[in-house]
């Protein structure tokens, strides 16, 4: 029996879209959905699918790092004492280890401490205070500064802009990245200084930027001379399938287009090794690397180089990194499959929602019936299931259609993911049926 057939038998819909149901069939669906919801709530579960954190089992994969680099193992390949100050750019062997992942030569990489978000924050603040290579003046002295924000997107990107008064302009995603016709139109405004991008397995949509999208971003001729792509390649090796997707190297594309300084590439090992004790990376052109190091030198005397040694000792080389990430995939893929199975079984053919099936990353994006996302979140909360707030995937937390939900199945156990996914599907179906019933009552009034 196919999933949509199971859904039909369970709900009585026979694959009919809720909006097309007769009054009697809608009443029947609403009654069944409420009964299913009451039964789910009666279980008294306490489940949390709010943030995309690695599960304890994933962190255990890097447990061996806690004994590294080891007693008296504190010298780099060049003989530098990793216990001491200095080495602002990061150890040469650490930069070499991640060069292939970042798509840049080691001399064009900076290794920070544990947070790529901190590097993004600092890069924006430095740009506001000092400008970037190619700026006529600091961004903060411009009458207006705006960033393009592909949506649905990452709430923490948007929070940085909101914190510093940067105007955010939503741009729709297409499946192959942002709507480039819209992007090319918007960058004609010189106030547009930057654009957030999660180019591979995007948060939360799972979008993978096409080669053509990346080339168009690289060669835009109407963008400001100091326009920057904030390229958050957070999920570069976070595949959920055996044939993981690859994307065009944005640094090479920008250089070939005559805009070598356009991209700031960020990444981290937060979801590779230890989330709170990983490494963060910045990769870009020589001019941008020099700019970041000059600014960072006023902030710190150097990063945690012992942690850099720890990562080199544990992962050893690029092949070791890839093998380590395959272990993550083995833990994560069944959880994502559980979410898809629950949504398919309950919702296929109903018109209550549509959802992504990402090939990697940490999230699933669900679009529910317009105007019901907040209701779904509240129903889930009342039943003991915490979801990311409705609107979180939009600038300032305001989804104009109250439609998008971000599901994060990584942290809970597989059994909890299965239970939570069933509950989410029940809440979505109930909210959709309620909305259709209310719509008909309003029309009849």
Q: What are the tens digits of pLDDT across the range 299-334?
A: 999 999 999 999 999 999 999 999 999 999 999 999
Q: What is the DSSP secondary-structure string of 35-89?
A: HHHHHHHTT---EEESS-PPPHHHHHTTGGGGG-S-TT--B-TT--BTTSS--TT
Instruction: Report the alpha-carbon distance of residue 273 to residue 270 in Å, rounded.
Output: 6
The residues with which 385 forms a beta bridge, in sequence order, are 47
User: What is the chain's mean pLDDT, rounded?
Assistant: 95
Alpha carbon distances (Å) from 122 to 41, 114, 140, 299, 396 = 44, 14, 14, 10, 20
| Average pLDDT value for residue range 359-382 | 98
Buried b (16+ CB within 10 A) or exposed e, 303-333: bbbebbbbbbbbbeeeeebeebbeebbebbe
Instruction: Report the alpha-carbon distance of residue 333 to residue 241 in Å, rounded.
Output: 8
Alpha carbon distances (Å) from 415 to 158, 323, 419, 426 = 33, 26, 6, 17
Residue 1 has pLDDT above 50, yes or no: no
- Let me know if 397 is exposed, middle or buried by CB neighbors in 10 A (0-12, 13-18, 19+): middle
- Residues contacting residue 79 through CB under 8 Å, at least 6 positions apart: none
Residue 5 has pLDDT above 70, yes or no: no
**What confidence score (pLDDT) does residue 16 get?**
61
Instruction: Report the alpha-carbon distance of residue 23 to residue 408 in Å, rounded.
Output: 36
The residues with which 265 forms a beta bridge, in sequence order, are 231, 283
| Average pLDDT value for residue range 224-235 | 98
Instruction: Report the alpha-carbon distance of residue 408 to residue 133 in Å, rounded.
Output: 38
Cα 49 from chain centroid (whole Å): 15
Q: What are 119's two structure tokens? A: 């590097």
Other residues' Cβ atoms within 10 Å of the Cβ of residue 187: 21
Lowest model confidence (mean pLDDT) among 14-28, 210-224, 233-247, 309-323? 14-28
Residue 218, classed as helix, strand or coil, is: helix
Do residues 74 and 95 touch, judged by C-beta distance below 8 A?
Answer: no
Instruction: Report the alpha-carbon distance of residue 16 to residue 182 in Å, rounded.
Output: 35
Rg of the chain over CA atoms, in angstroms? 24
Alpha helices in 192-248 (DSSP H): 211-219
Residue 8 has pLDDT above 80, yes or no: no
Q: Render pLDDT for 395-405 as a digit per residue (tens, 0 to 9).
A: 999 999 999 99
Do residues 194 and 226 touch, judged by C-beta distance below 8 A?
Answer: no
Of 149, 145, 147, 129, the residue nearest 137 (C-alpha): 129
The residues with which 268 forms a beta bridge, in sequence order, are 280
Backbone φ/ψ region at 12: left (φ over 0), alpha (ψ -120 to 50), beta: left
Residue 150 has pLDDT above 80, yes or no: yes
What predicted TM-score, i.e. pTM, was given to this entire model? 0.94
Other residues' Cβ atoms within 10 Å of the Cβ of residue 284: 30
Residue 13 has pLDDT above 50, yes or no: no
Instruction: Report the alpha-carbon distance of residue 90 to residue 107 in Å, rounded.
Output: 10
**What confidence score (pLDDT) does residue 10 get?**
31
Q: In angstroms, how far is the first alpha carbon of the chain from the final one?
A: 42
Rounded to whole angstroms, the maximal C-alpha distance in the chain is: 81
**What confidence score (pLDDT) does residue 445 get?**
85
Instruction: Classify strands 385-387 and 47-49 as parallel, antiparallel or unpaired.
Output: parallel
| Average pLDDT value for residue range 342-371 | 97
Percentage of the chain surpassing pLDDT 70? 96
Of 377, 442, 365, the residue nearest 407 (C-alpha): 365
């Amino acid at each position: 029996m196919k999933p949509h057939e199971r859904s039909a038998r369970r709900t009585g819909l026979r694959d009919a879209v809720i909006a097309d149901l007769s009054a009697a069939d809608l009443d029947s669906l609403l009654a069944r959905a409420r009964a299913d919801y009451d039964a789910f709530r009666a279980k008294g579960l306490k489940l949390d699918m709010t943030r995309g954190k690695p599960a304890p089992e994933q962190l255990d994969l890097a447990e061996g790092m806690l004994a590294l680099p080891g007693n008296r193992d504190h010298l780099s390949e060049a003989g530098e004492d990793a216990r001491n100050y200095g080495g602002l750019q990061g150890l040469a062997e650490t930069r070499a280890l991640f060069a292939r992942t970042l798509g840049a030569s080691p001399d064009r990489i900076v290794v920070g401490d544990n947070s790529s978000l901190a590097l993004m924050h600092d890069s924006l603040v430095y740009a506001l205070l000092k400008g970037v290579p190619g700026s006529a003046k600091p961004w903060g002295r411009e009458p207006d500064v705006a960033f393009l924000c592909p949506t649905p997107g990452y709430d923490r990107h948007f929070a940085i802009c909101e914190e510093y008064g940067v105007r955010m302009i939503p741009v729709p995603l297409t499946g192959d990245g942002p709507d480039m016709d819209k992007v090319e139109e918007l960058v004609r405004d010189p106030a547009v200084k930057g654009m957030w991008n999660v180019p591979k397995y995007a948060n939360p949509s799972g979008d993978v930027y096409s080669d053509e999208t990346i080339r168009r971003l690289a060669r835009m001729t109407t963008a400001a001379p100091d326009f920057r792509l904030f390229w958050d390649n957070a999920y570069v090796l976070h595949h959920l399938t055996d044939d993981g997707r690859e994307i065009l190297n944005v640094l090479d594309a920008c250089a070939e287009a005559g805009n070598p300084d356009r991209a700031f590439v960020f990444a981290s090992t937060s979801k590779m090794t230890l989330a709170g004790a990983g490494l963060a990376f910045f990769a870009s052109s020589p001019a941008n690397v020099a700019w970041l190091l000059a600014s960072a030198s006023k902030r710190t005397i150097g990063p945690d180089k012992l942690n850099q040694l720890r990562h080199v000792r544990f992962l050893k080389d690029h092949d070791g990194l890839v093998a380590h990430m395959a272990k993550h995939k083995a833990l994560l893929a069944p959880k994502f499959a559980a979410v898809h199975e629950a949504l398919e079984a309950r919702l296929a053919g109903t018109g209550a929602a549509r959802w992504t099936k990402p090939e990697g990353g940490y999230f699933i994006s669900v679009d529910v019936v317009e105007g019901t996302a907040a209701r779904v979140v509240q129903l889930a909360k009342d039943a003991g299931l915490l979801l990311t707030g409705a609107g979180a995937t939009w600038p300032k937390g305001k989804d104009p259609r109250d439609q998008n939900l971000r599901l994060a199945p990584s942290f809970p156990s597989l059994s909890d993911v299965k239970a939570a996914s069933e509950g989410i599907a029940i809440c979505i179906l109930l909210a959709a049926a309620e909305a259709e019933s209310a719509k008909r009552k309003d029309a009849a009034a």
